[in-house]
């Protein structure tokens, strides 16, 4: 029960609903056991005793009992469902809140499909046990105890003989629980992998089709699906093996009951009606014990799901605020790196190695280098998406760790290499970082990003609904909307991570011209592969293998004859000249 104890804070506040539901269950269970007693009275007193005037009273009493049971059943089921729904409402919110707080380091290794599986099917499995599992345990316990009490009241010897096989049924049930829990954990994991496979395929469908890899993806899905099927079949085989055995032990009790009970009736030690009631009561014990296998089944699923949910809730948050973090709304934007080293994965090569530079407010810093050189890593340290292994990152002379995360990130406009747009209107996408912005401010930001003209040409203008990830827009249009979104928050630090990579040269020129006005008074970092995007920077850092190998302005770097000039030659001179200068 450790898993449930750790998750207790989510369902225990609603314990009142659970207890009222269980109280209603007590009425339902007690009334259920009345049925055999009514049957016994009908046979022994009315039929054999020829007390026929009792029939109307028995009929009326039975109707009243049924009405009370129906009312109690309603409260039990409704309040039980309400208990589970309210509990997982809080749990789901806590999981989503936790996912928002986890750093990029966690998402580097997490699978989207698996996370979706945890927040949907695992949460639902846990809810099902809260709504019905707890009450099922109580129901089984109550009906067995009450039935045993009535059976011992009728005949102690027959009750003892009938219960002889029950300890074996308990042992079988315990062994079933021991085997079925790990089996269900395997089912949950394989389902997470299956969901991940579907999510990745749907997200990358353009790549799949453009490379004609449909058959390959079908094969990969089939393998994941087979793995899920095999885990489920293994669980089904456990159930198929134990259920008949539990049913056999229950039927043995019934056979013993009929044999010995019949003997007691013949001897006159037991009334026929009591034997019939005994027969009903023994099934009130056998079937609940058999049902206990279903409860264990449900409990094992809930426990496996709870463990997967706890893996998220107990995940360490790498990026945390200090107690007295700075909460001011504005920063100047003076960025300093002091001997900074960053390693994403232990025992891997460092992504950044002893990086140092100074970017005063209003300066434009260009970052250029091959893929994986460390350009994006520098900007991700400014926003504390990651923490440096060594050295310090300062803003306005203070380590970034001294700022509140919201304060820090609201002062940094970030345009990623792959512009992400939400499935909502263009207006809401641009306003995402500044929801209180006026329409005039939105349009001004769009004009600066060279996005206004194509937006107003769309059917509903700024109210045009976008598909998933901005479906319906070209890559350049999506990036210009992302640039407008960054401009609208009026950041003191602006990061353009290859922000014009998806636009043509003419549009890039227009955006760069507009951005020069936006950059005034802001510290700007431009990550680019095209020299044209950053040649006007106040300082350009050329990176190779996580190190700054060259730095300076465009004209001076061209005179050095180093990496920067080689990149310039490749981009601006004809291929023959390049091959002569750089053979091989």
| Residue spans per domain, the chain | 2-313, 417-490
CA 245 to CA 263: how far, in whole Å? 27
Contacts of 298 (CB under 8 A, 6+ apart): 128, 129, 132, 133, 136
CATH placement of domain 2-313? 1.20.1560.10
CA dihedral 266, 267, 269, 273 (to 10 degrees): 10
The answer to whether 368 touches 528, Cβ cutoff 8 Å, is: yes
* CATH class held by domain 417-490: alpha beta
Q: What share of the chain is helix, strand, coil (3-state, %, to 5)?
A: 65, 10, 25
Which residues are registered as beta bridge partners of 393? Answer: 337
pTM, two decimal places: 0.73
Tokens of 114: 């698996």
Give the total residue count for the chain.
584
Give me the torsion for CA of 39, 41, 43, 48, rounded to 10°: 180
DSSP states of 348-381: SPPSEEEEEEEE-TT-EEEEEESTTSSHHHHHHH
pLDDT digits (tens, 9 = 90+) for 248-275: 777 777 787 778 888 888 888 888 888 8
Burial 308-323 (b: 16+ CB within 10 A, else e): bbeebeeeeeebebee
Which parts of the chain sit beneath pLDDT 70?
Answer: 177, 181, 202-207, 209-212, 290, 293, 328-329, 347, 468-470, 499-504, 507-508, 510-511, 513-514, 517, 573-584
Spatial contact of 342 and 351, defined as CB atoms under 8 Å apart? yes
C-alpha 250 chain-centroid distance: 42
Tell me the per-residue pLDDT of 340-350, one tens digit each, with 9 for 90 and over: 999 887 767 88
At 296 the pLDDT is 76
Burial class (CB in 10 A: 0-12, 13-18, 19+), 153: exposed
Could you tell me the two tokens for 494? 């602006």
Q: Is the Cβ–Cβ distance between 367 and 526 less than 8 Å?
A: yes
The token duo for 149 is: 């009490």
> Residue 576: its pLDDT value, please?
47
- Residue 269 φ/ψ region, left for φ over 0, alpha for ψ in the -120 to 50 degree band, beta for the rest: alpha
């Amino acid at each position: 029960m450790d898993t449930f104890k750790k998750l207790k804070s989510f369902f225990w506040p609603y314990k009142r609903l659970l207890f009222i539901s269980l109280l209603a269950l007590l009425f339902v269970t007690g009334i259920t056991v009345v049925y055999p007693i009514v049957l016994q009275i009908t046979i022994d007193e009315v039929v054999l005793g020829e007390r026929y005037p009792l029939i109307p009273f028995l009929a009326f009493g039975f109707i009243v009992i049924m009405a009370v049971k129906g009312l109690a059943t309603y409260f039990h089921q409704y309040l039980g469902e309400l208990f589970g729904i309210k509990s997982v409402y809080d749990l789901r919110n806590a999981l989503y809140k936790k996912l928002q707080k986890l750093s990029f380091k966690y998402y580097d290794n997490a699978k989207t499909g698996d996370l979706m599986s945890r927040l949907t099917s695992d949460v639902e499995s846990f809810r099902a046990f809260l709504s019905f599992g707890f009450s099922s345990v109580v129901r089984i316990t109550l009906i067995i105890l009450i039935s045993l009490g009535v059976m011992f009241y009728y005949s102690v010897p027959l009750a003892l003989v009938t219960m002889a096989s029950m300890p074996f049924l308990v042992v079988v049930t315990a062994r079933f629980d021991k085997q079925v829990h790990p089996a269900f954990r395997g089912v949950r994991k394989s389902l997470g992998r299956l969901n991940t496979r579907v999510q990745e395929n749907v997200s990358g469908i353009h790549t799949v089709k453009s490379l004609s890899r449909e058959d390959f993806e079908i094969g990969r899905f089939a393998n994941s699906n087979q793995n899920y099927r095999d885990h489920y079949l293994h669980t089904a085989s456990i159930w198929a093996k134990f259920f008949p055995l539990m049913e056999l032990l229950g039927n043995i009790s019934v056979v013993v009951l009929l044999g010995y009970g019949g003997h007691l009736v013949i001897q006159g030690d037991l009334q026929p009606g009591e034997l019939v009631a005994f027969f009903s009561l023994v099934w009130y014990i056998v079937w609940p014990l058999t049902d206990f296998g279903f409860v264990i089944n449900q409990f094992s699923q809930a426990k496996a799901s709870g463990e997967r949910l706890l893996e998220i809730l107990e995940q360490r948050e790498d990026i945390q605020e200090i107690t007295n973090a700075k909460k001011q709304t504005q920063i100047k934007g003076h960025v300093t790196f002091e001997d900074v080293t960053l390693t994403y994965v232990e025992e891997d090569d460092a992504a950044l190695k002893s990086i140092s530079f100074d970017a005063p407010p209003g300066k434009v810093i260009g970052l250029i280098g091959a893929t994986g050189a460390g350009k994006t890593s520098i900007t991700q340290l400014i926003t504390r998406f990651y923490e440096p292994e060594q050295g310090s990152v300062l803003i306005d002379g203070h380590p970034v760790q001294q700022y509140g995360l919201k304060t820090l990130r609201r002062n940094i406009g970030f345009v990623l290499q792959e512009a992400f747009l939400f499935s909502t209107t263009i207006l809401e996408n641009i306003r995402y970082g500044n929801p209180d912005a006026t329409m005039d401010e939105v349009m001004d930001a769009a004009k600066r990003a060279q996005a206004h003209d194509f937006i107003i040409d769309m059917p509903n203008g700024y109210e045009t609904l976008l598909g998933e990830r901005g479906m319906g827009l070209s890559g350049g249009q999506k990036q210009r909307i992302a640039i407008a979104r960054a401009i609208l928050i009026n950041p003191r630090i602006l990061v353009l991570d290859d922000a014009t990579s998806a636009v043509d040269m003419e549009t890039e020129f227009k955006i760069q011209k507009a951005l020069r006005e936006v950059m005034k008074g802001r510290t700007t970092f431009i990550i680019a592969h095209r020299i044209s995007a950053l040649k006007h920077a106040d300082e350009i850092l050329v990176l190779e293998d996580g190190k700054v190998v060259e730095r300076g302005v465009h004209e001076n770097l061209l005179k050095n004859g180093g990496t920067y000039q080689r990149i310039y030659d490749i981009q601006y001179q004809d291929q023959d000249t390049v091959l002569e200068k750089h053979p091989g």
